[in-house]
Structure 1
Amino acid sequence: METLVIYVMLYRRERLVIEVRPQDNVEELKAVVESKTNIPIHRQGLYYDGKRLANDRTLASYNLATGTVLHLSPLLGAAGMFSLSVIMPSNKVIQVVVHGTTTIKELMKTLEGLDQTLKSCQHFLMVGNDAMDISKTLWDYGIRSEAVIRLEKAESTCSCM
């Protein structure tokens, strides 16, 4: 079976490399993107040559070929979803799409899913100089729209990055 290597450019200037089949539909491609970014399918806008791709169409119907570059634009809106930037201990910035009711514990699990090295050490999410309580929500900290928070190692002897 023929496969294509498609590049998906994220809004944070990162590039995903995804292997797909021409007969896959756009929604199947979005499922792969979701597995790598945690952006739900219904919150993804995929664009090729300036046009938004329809979920029910196949990749072949857009004449996509190996090396094609698609652009992902998260569809944020009235549903309370927004982009949150998290500065990692390595100073890498990870962006996740969240809701104000997302708990800090849920956010930590999302980050661990994106960066496996986090599982080997205890970390705290920080807003300002304060560690965030895992039982609270982003709204509890007044975070209701795009924001930047930090993830810090709990122990100085922890060697993960």
Structure 2
Amino acid sequence: MKPDANKQQGFSLIEVLVAGFVITFGLVGMVLMQTYTQQDAFRAHQLSLAGLYAQDMQERLRANICYLNRLTQDSDVNTFINNQRDEWQDDHSLSSRGWTYKIEPLTEVSDFTNPDPENYWQFELEIKPPPPSRSPTVQTLLIDYWGGGC
């Protein structure tokens, strides 16, 4: 038997191009998936750091609870908070690494005129990591109020 001269052997150019396109599309998808995974892991790391920084600030305020509870004016509280914030910022080098933050008291000294054993200081701490992070972490810090001092 003679081989048929019209019978095709091998692949056509269209089949090779389609196969190349499918493989390229799959590889590009894998690279993009890896990139998004790394970005999400970085954002999760930044969120974890923001939580640790907030916890550190709360512990600093709690360590000075006796001083905080003796303050009699809101301006004294703001000065105290600014001093704590500056030390906290210097210890963690937040500004030099692109982090932004703000802390403000949500309670005032006048809130404690009638001592209630369940009172507490309340501060709002907003920490925003550097780009590519999209949103800040806002934490409310609660510090016990001890009406009779320490």
Higher helix proportion (structure 1 or 2): 2
TM-score by length of 1: 0.27
Higher strand proportion (structure 1 or 2): 1
Structure with higher Rg: it is: 2
Higher-RCO chain (CA-CA 8 Å, sequence separation at least 6) = 2
TM-score by length of 2: 0.28
